[in-house]
Chains A and B, each alone.
Chain A
Amino acid sequence: MERRSVHQPRIKHLAVKVGAVLTLIPVIAVGLLLYALYARGMFDSTQALTLNAPDAEGVVIGMPVMFSGFPIGQVSGMALDELGRVRIEVSVKKKDARWLRISSVFSLEKQFLGGAKIRAFSPRMQDPELPAGAERQLVSKDAAQDIPQVIARANSILQNVDEIIRPDSSFNQTLANLKSVTERMAGEYGVLGGVTGSPDQAKKVLDTVDSVNALLASLKGVTARADGVLAKTDDRMFGQGGVMDEAKRSIAQLNTILLEARDSLKKADEVLANA
């Protein structure tokens, strides 16, 4: 098979185009490298801060230090000191260092999802600024740490709930009783039915109340009559010419009779003495 040799047409500005392609590669490679270095904070002036922590779990180099949700620095190194504690070296951007005060608190927060975060919190902004190279304690806050306890408590609560909602539990029985009571309350005899337990009983109670009412009515008549009798008695006893008046008079008469009798007796004594 004959193959025609490829005739290549003359390309315009070939050298310029090839030069552009050849320049593109190093420019992009160096640009990307510089951007990566800039992103890693290579060109920012920073100040050092050392955080002491009992445990460096979840802390990685390059991890951001957040202040109010903004990254102000990052972990640049970690090492164990002679006591086995962790020294975390943090480089804080110079321009953001003013947010850190001597009263600032640093906490390591481990999350359920995603990496841990170091947070800085400055409660009093009027305090003096944190000097470069300062050492602070890193407080660890672990969202997962309390989980076992929470689960244990939740378990006991759930067990109690289980006890309560079991079909033969006293709570359920109480509810059943309450239900029957309220059902009866909603019946013909209302609350009375609920309290007495059955319509018959409630009817009896109502009958009793009726009888008591009748009794009270007759008692009323009796007391009225008794009142009349008492009034008459009063009149007879203490009224004008009543028993009391007569008695008074009788006693006065009796007194005069007794006086007369004494005189008579005196006379009789004299008679006897003279005899």
Chain B
Amino acid sequence: MNALHAWLTLVGQGFSEWLDAWVRVSRFAMTALIGMLSPATYNKATRLVVQKQIYFTAWQILPGFCVFAALFSYLIIEIVGITARKYGLYEYALELIVRILVLEILPLMTALFVALRTGAAINTEVALMKIQNELDALQRIGIDPMRLELLPRVVGGTISVLALTAVNIVAALWLTHLAIVDFHPWTLTDGDFTRMIGKVLDIPVLLVLWAKTLAFGFAVTVIPISEGLSTPQKLFHAPISVLRGMVRLFFSLMLIEAAALAMVYV
């Protein structure tokens, strides 16, 4: 009986902690969203910080990541194309590539990459700032850490995911045309390609695509920051904070992806 009681208490505590964490994340997300959208946030100082964040999280990685994404896309396009040709279903290869690669894999892959590169770094940074009381110190000398430290990172991360996804999508569409239509001109024509684009990319699909990418970008920075902010002030909690932040971020990304899929296909 005691064991059961102890177990139930454990489960209840775990659930309540889990719920608390999500409530914290959503509360911070709301604050960040309002902060991002209010023009008062952007004075000269914050504008410079935001510009630097965009530079570090988007501009710096744009060429390298786009080359990688293009190679990856080309590989997938060729695999799908060759397999489809083997089974005589070449005209369906185009649709498959656009639906799977352009609409799903590339945005998710970009979000995961930015999460690994920027999200993990932000989580560690914010956790250390919290542990070393830097945020309180800033507050005390009259600098709002939300406006000068946290919001610029959210803006930078979101812009980064949006820009990288946009460039990758254009590159993947161009590579699809190259690999499926230009390299095999006797199978499909420009007309087939355009018609398929028209069939797959309708207005709701495009809206869901950009909404999803925006949500990815937002989650990639908001969840690590919120997790970093809730780190207990002990140094050994820093890695635990990063671990939790990354796991939560992964599940959030998957949740957003599943919701987007449900919106388009259900």
Task: Identify the A interface with B (CB < 8 A).
Answer: 1, 3, 8, 11, 14-15, 17-18, 20-22, 24-25, 28-29, 31-33, 35-36, 38-41, 62, 64, 70-71, 74, 113-114
Contact = CB atoms under 8 A, between A and B. Distances in A.
- State the main secondary structure of chain B at its contact with A: helix
B55 A32 contact: no
A28 B167 contact: yes
A18 B55 contact: yes
B200 to A, nearest CB: 9
B250 interface: no
Interface in B210-258: 210, 235
Nearest to A31: B170
Interface string B79-115: 0000000000101100000000000000000000000
A20 B128 CA distance: 33
Nearest to B210: A29
B59 A38 contact: no
Given A17-B59, A21-B59, A40 B54 contact: no
Interface stretch (B2-10, B36-44, B67-75, B190-198): B190-198
Nearest to A29: B210
A64 B196 CA distance: 10
A153 to B, nearest CB: 27
Contacts of B89: 113-114
A223 B128 CA distance: 142
Interface stretch (B15-23, B27-35, B158-166, B178-186): B158-166
Contacts of A22: 54, 159
A41 B202 CA distance: 12
Nearest to B199: A62
A184 to B, nearest CB: 54
26 contacts: A1-B132, A3-B128, A3-B132, A3-B134, A11-B55, A15-B51, A17-B55, A18-B51, A21-B54, A21-B58, A24-B167, A28-B166, A28-B167, A32-B201, A33-B206, A36-B197, A36-B198, A38-B194, A39-B196, A39-B199, A39-B201, A40-B198, A40-B202, A41-B198, A70-B191, A114-B91
